[in-house]
Amino acid sequence: MTSTAALRRDAGVLAGSLPPLLAHAERLAATVVLGDHGRRRAGQGDEFWQYRPAHEGDEARHIDWRRSARSDSHFIRQKEWQAAQSVLFWVDNGQSMSFASGKALPQKGERARVLALATAALLLRGGERVGLLGHDAPPRAGEMQLAPLAEALMEGGDQTEYGAPAFSGLRSNARAVMISDFLGDMAPIETALTHAANKGIGGVLLQVLDPQEEAFPFDGRTIFESMGGSLRHETLKAGDLRSRYLQRLADRKASLAELARMTGWQISCHHTGDSASAALLWLYRILEGAR
Partner 1 sequence: MFMIGPIGFTVPWLLLGLLVLPLLWILLRAVPPAPIRRRFPGVALLLGLKDDESQADKTPWWLLLLRMIALAAVIIGFAGPVLNPKSEHAGTGNLLILLDASWADAANWQARQDRLNSLLEEAARAGRPTAVVALTDLNTGALPFQAADVWQSRIAGLLPAAWGPQDPGEWAENLAQEESFETYWLSDGLKRPMRANLLKALESKGTVTVFESPRAIYGLKPARFADGEIRLMATRARADSTAELTVSALGLDPAGVDRALARTSLQFPVGQTEAEAVFTLPSELRNRITRFAIAGIRSAGAVSLTDDALRRREIALISARAEREGLQLLAPLHYLRKALEPTADILDGALDDILPANPDVIVLADVAKLTESEKASLTEWVKNGGLLLRFAGPQLAASDLSRNREDELMPVRLRAGGRTVGGAMSWGAPKKLRPFSPESPFFGLTIPDDVEVTAQVLAQPDPTLSSRVIAALADGTPLVTRKKLGQGQVVLFHVTANAQWSTLPLSGLFVDMLERLAVSTRPAAPDAQELAGTRWTPEKQLNGFGELGDSGMLADVTGERIATGEAGPDLPPGIYSGEDRSLAVNVLNAKTKLAPTAWPARIQVEGLKALRETGLKGAFLAAALLALMLDILAALWVAGKLRGPKSGVVAGILVSLLVFPSPGHSQDTTDAEAFAIEAAAQVTLAHVLTGDAQVDRVAQAGLVGLSDVLFRRSSIEPGLPIGVDIEKDDLSLFPMLYWPVTVAQPHPSDIAYAKLNEYLRKGGMILFDTRDGNVAGYGQSTPEARKLQALALPLDIPPLEPIPEDHVLTRTFYLLQTFPGRYERPIWVEAAPADAVKVEGMPFRNLNDGVSPVIIGGNDWAAAWAVDARGAPMFPVGRGYTGERQREIAYRFGLNLMMYVLTGNYKSDQVHVPALLERLGQ
| Binding footprint of partner 1 on the chain (CB under 8 A) | 96-97, 99, 101-102, 108, 161-162, 181, 183-185, 210, 212-213, 216-227, 231-241, 244-245, 248-249, 252
Q: How far is the CB of 237 from partner 1 (least distance, A)?
A: 5
CA neighbours within 13 Å on the CB side: how many for 22? 16
Q: Looking at beta carbons only, is 125 or 252 nearer to partner 1?
A: 252
Q: Do 235 and 222 meet the contact criterion of CB atoms below 8 Å apart?
A: yes
Which residues lie across from 78 on neighbouring strands? 50
Q: How far is the CB of 205 from partner 1 (least distance, A)?
A: 17
CB atoms inside a 10 Å sphere around CB 95? 20
Q: How far is the CB of 35 from partner 1 (least distance, A)?
A: 36
Q: How far is the CB of 112 from partner 1 (least distance, A)?
A: 13
Q: Looking at beta carbons only, is 136 or 240 nearer to partner 1?
A: 240
Measure the CA–CA gap between 59 and 75, rounded to whole angstroms. Answer: 11
Q: Looking at beta carbons only, is 231 or 281 nearer to partner 1?
A: 231
Q: How far is the CB of 150 from partner 1 (least distance, A)?
A: 24
Q: Looking at beta carbons only, is 156 or 229 nearer to partner 1?
A: 229
Q: Looking at beta carbons only, is 201 or 256 nearer to partner 1?
A: 256
Q: Looking at beta carbons only, is 130 or 178 nearer to partner 1?
A: 178
Query: To 5 degrees, how large is the angle CA 167–CA 171–CA 176?
Result: 65
Q: Looking at beta carbons only, is 115 or 183 nearer to partner 1?
A: 183
Q: Among residues 35, 145, 28, 16, which one has the least CA distance to residue 89?
A: 145
Q: How far is the CB of 246 from partner 1 (least distance, A)?
A: 9
Q: How far is the CB of 163 from partner 1 (least distance, A)?
A: 12
Measure the CA–CA gap between 291 and 205, rounded to whole angstroms. Answer: 17
